[in-house]
Amino acid sequence: MGWMAALVGSLAVAAAGMGQANDGQQARGAGGPGRHFGAGHRGERIERELNLTDKQKAAWKQIHDAHFQSIKPLIDQERQIHTQIREQLDSGNADAEAIGKLMISAHDVGKQFQASRDELDAKLSQVLTPDQKTKFDAMKQRRMERRHGFGGPEATPES
């Protein structure tokens, strides 16, 4: 029983972290209607840093709006999974196997979000000049380093 309690506890911590990450992503905006690269000041900062023209800003907005519409089902699916995880954990009789399966589902949805983000970045890049694309690629690299620590997700202790 001790290992199961440890597993459920670990999953609870992971689920809470995923819920907070999701809430943070929603608060920052996943590129919702009317948003550019990011929400609010972040999007404005990126537009300034890249020195986007009005035509480019309009194109980015259109790309983001289409992207947001395309990921709505993923957002709903992710929300449902996190609700199910919380319900399991709050039930007082959590089923570790069910939680594990839900965590795997959440991970799979996360992979789909990343693929969608990569597609979004590729479309946004098509609107940029070569100099802007170089700056944009550097921004994406900094974003990855912040998300995964210096060296990115493939970093090993030896690197």
pLDDT in tens, 101-145: 999 999 999 999 999 999 999 999 999 999 999 999 998 888 888
Distance CA 70, CA 92 (A): 37
Pair 32, 39: CB distance under 8 Å: yes
What residues contact residue 44 under an 8 Å CB cut-off, 6+ apart?
36
Helices marked H in the chain = 2-28, 40-50, 54-90, 96-125, 130-148
Pair 85, 134: CB distance under 8 Å: no
Q: Please give the single-letter amino acid code of residue 146.
A: R
- Chain mean position to CA 74: 11
Q: What is the pLDDT of residues 46-103, one digit of tens each?
A: 888 999 999 999 999 999 999 999 999 999 999 999 999 999 999 999 999 999 999 9
| pTM, to two decimals | 0.66
